[in-house]
Structure 1
């Protein structure tokens, strides 16, 4: 019997129109503290697309309330997510009428009804479209959601499922002059990425127009459950994201174990993987993963390139890297790839694909 295999068949990305260098962000908020400036100007990030707060009459940036940040998340999320989905469908030669399942991923705001309902209305998707909102899981959530999307596609052969990661990270910023919030403010950017998944009959990646999703594996480190989290800041009246300084080392120390589990029973070794698409979590995170998995700078060129040009885009970062890999046109039928995301929990998610 011929296997029914879920495939990634298209991708589309979108960012806000305004892009800023790290120096321009420092200038916008009149940051003079040399310690904070050094964090921004470390060199791993050159530009980020952001929706900065509106200007006051004196030229300063207004401090937005939590309600204003949520409104930013909603308005920009619908716009960015909608454009990313439309690009994904256009590249596939499909229309919104072809979508049977929509999954939206975000950690930069809470909406009820969620982004799937709002995108369905905005784009005119069929009202019968099945939907799933994955909210608050963090940077790893793109692969958590893709596992669910893959499962739905496998159960509905030939029908189009779409996943969109929508992260307006500038809607989760707190500007209080502390090193804690400055690390977050120096790292994350705004962006959305959508992919289409269809399960088709086939024997692997050869001859197909997208890679087959073969297997998923994950690991959680409960001892580091507080290392990445949202806290409520009473003084600021906002949610504030916290990143522990040891996150890169926690992630790196556990990367080898989860990748080995992903490849178990496949007959594959790490040396058989041609393409590595790792979440652009930050320079220290990327370096730690590289060292522990024995990867080269070339292996993670798309990861570092996305970090340089966009910053950390949270759940959609790995899809920006995937799009860059496709644009290279180097992936050959039969080659294998590993997708990896990391985030709160602390969690590492992986997927094995084959072209």
Structure 2
């Protein structure tokens, strides 16, 4: 049986017998990114946080991260960082996430010559703060996006959420061919920190940075999901062919964002075994994604993996048999920005586009991982 991918959400499609073969596929047509105002080296952050513990300093300095964008608390009279209450952190999240998000959306639209008025659907994802109404409503009001715009907020899913949101956004685009869908990941990680000298917080505080990424999706009715690889892709980026997910239920508490009574605020926790758990499960979800399309790993030209941390990237790379060159964008984003949570993989995608190496017919795999513990994947084709 000949197998290929249909529209998002479908697993297997026989193009000879399935009338859905002419259904449009959503295409990523533009991308924009933004960060907060100030960046710091790891050594600068250690000094600003007055961290002298040799073990904690080692976590920071051996993270494969050179700089991160953060919005730190004001300094007290003695030069130490002031402690922010949970209310102050939520205010910070709203301010930074909206500012970065608006700039990323505008940049993505500018790349493809669209205006704010052209947006028909807006999907926003964030984990680093909570708002009701969500980011999408605030952006519509503050940016002047048409009030008729359909919207959805994906909140609390963590670093994997960008692909969960992409699945929903691509599905909407396919159901509304020719209309403009925008997906935004905006993570103010500066609003999700507990600053103390413990090893638990050191792992988190050494890793995350502020960042937002937005992409524009459109499904053209004439752009079918079933097309030979030799057919040149129209300008505008890759088609989204399908998704595959895997929830590692036995590791549901390995990555979590929950309430810390001692500090009176939410606190993120990362189990030291996370890289190995993710790595051990990477093969089965990627192979399922590719099997559904009749592909092998050797057919994939571009790998865009979430910049979850040095050990996570290495574990995924080794278990999937990838080269360091395959994950060059991932390691580059980690080096220059740290872990940007849900939007990290889009920063890598932007770097891939800047290289201008993707050719018509090339396949790519997008991969994110986060709380659950969850691995999300998507297959795209230029």
Relative to the length of structure 1, the TM-score reads 0.99
| Long gaps (5+) in structure 1 | none
Note the C-alpha offset of 1:321: 0.1
Is 1:138 the counterpart of 2:158? The answer is yes
Counterpart for residue 119 of structure 1 = 139
Note the C-alpha offset of 1:47: 0.2
Note the C-alpha offset of 1:235: 1.3
Counterpart for residue 33 of structure 1 = 53
Note the C-alpha offset of 1:207: 2.9
Q: Which whole-Å deviations, capped at 9, do the CAs of 1:296-339 have from their partners, x for residues lacking one?
A: 00000000000000000000000000000000000000000000
Note the C-alpha offset of 1:176: 2.0
Bigger shift: 319-328 or 51-60?
A: 51-60
1:202 aligns to what SS in structure 2? strand
Separation in structure 2 between the aligned mates of residue 75 and residue 51 of structure 1, nearest angstrom: 11
Counterpart for residue 271 of structure 2 = 244
When the two chains are superposed, the root-mean-square deviation of aligned CA atoms in Å is 1.0
Separation in structure 2 between the aligned mates of residue 206 and residue 11 of structure 1, nearest angstrom: 17
Separation in structure 2 between the aligned mates of residue 243 and residue 18 of structure 1, nearest angstrom: 25
Note the C-alpha offset of 1:58: 2.0
Q: Which whole-Å deviations, capped at 9, do the CAs of 1:104-155 have from their partners, x for residues lacking one?
A: 0000001001000000011100000000000000000000000000000000
Q: Which whole-Å deviations, capped at 9, do the CAs of 1:235-269 have from their partners, x for residues lacking one?
A: 11011101000000110001000001001132210
Separation in structure 2 between the aligned mates of residue 303 and residue 67 of structure 1, nearest angstrom: 33
Counterpart for residue 259 of structure 1 = 286
Separation in structure 2 between the aligned mates of residue 187 and residue 294 of structure 1, nearest angstrom: 25
Separation in structure 2 between the aligned mates of residue 329 and residue 147 of structure 1, nearest angstrom: 25
Note the C-alpha offset of 1:65: 0.6
Q: Which whole-Å deviations, capped at 9, do the CAs of 1:210-245 have from their partners, x for residues lacking one?
A: 100001000001100000001211111011101000
Is 1:304 the counterpart of 2:342? The answer is no
Counterpart for residue 49 of structure 1 = 69
Q: Which whole-Å deviations, capped at 9, do the CAs of 1:38-74 have from their partners, x for residues lacking one?
A: 0000050000000001111222110111011000000
Q: Which whole-Å deviations, capped at 9, do the CAs of 1:170-226 have from their partners, x for residues lacking one?
A: 100001211001110000000000000000122556233210000100000110000
Give the counterpart of 1:313 among 307, 325, 340.
Answer: 340
| Long gaps (5+) in structure 2 | 1-20
Counterpart for residue 223 of structure 2 = 202
Give the counterpart of 1:69 among 89, 102, 107.
Answer: 89
Counterpart for residue 18 of structure 2 = none
Relative to the length of structure 2, the TM-score reads 0.92
Is 1:7 the counterpart of 2:34? The answer is no
Separation in structure 1 between the aligned mates of residue 192 and residue 40 of structure 2, nearest angstrom: 17
Give the 5 Å matches for 1:130-209.
Answer: 130-200=150-220, 201-203=222-224, 204=227, 206-209=233-236
Q: Residues 43 and 139 of structure 1: is their aligned pair in 2 closer, same or farther, counting only changes over 3 Å?
A: closer
Counterpart for residue 307 of structure 2 = 280
Note the C-alpha offset of 1:2: 4.2
Counterpart for residue 11 of structure 2 = none
Counterpart for residue 44 of structure 2 = 24
Separation in structure 2 between the aligned mates of residue 57 and residue 207 of structure 1, nearest angstrom: 59
Separation in structure 2 between the aligned mates of residue 97 and residue 109 of structure 1, nearest angstrom: 27
Give the 5 Å matches for 1:91-106.
Answer: 91-106=111-126
Separation in structure 2 between the aligned mates of residue 81 and residue 249 of structure 1, nearest angstrom: 33
Separation in structure 2 between the aligned mates of residue 206 and residue 15 of structure 1, nearest angstrom: 31
1:94 aligns to what SS in structure 2? coil
Separation in structure 2 between the aligned mates of residue 209 and residue 100 of structure 1, nearest angstrom: 18
Counterpart for residue 16 of structure 2 = none
Note the C-alpha offset of 1:4: 1.1
Q: Which whole-Å deviations, capped at 9, do the CAs of 1:78-117 have from their partners, x for residues lacking one?
A: 1000000000011110001000000000000010010000
Counterpart for residue 353 of structure 2 = 326
Equivalent pairs, count = 355
Give yes or no for contact 2:159–2:370 (8 Å, CA) kept in 1. yes
Is 1:226 the counterpart of 2:253? The answer is yes
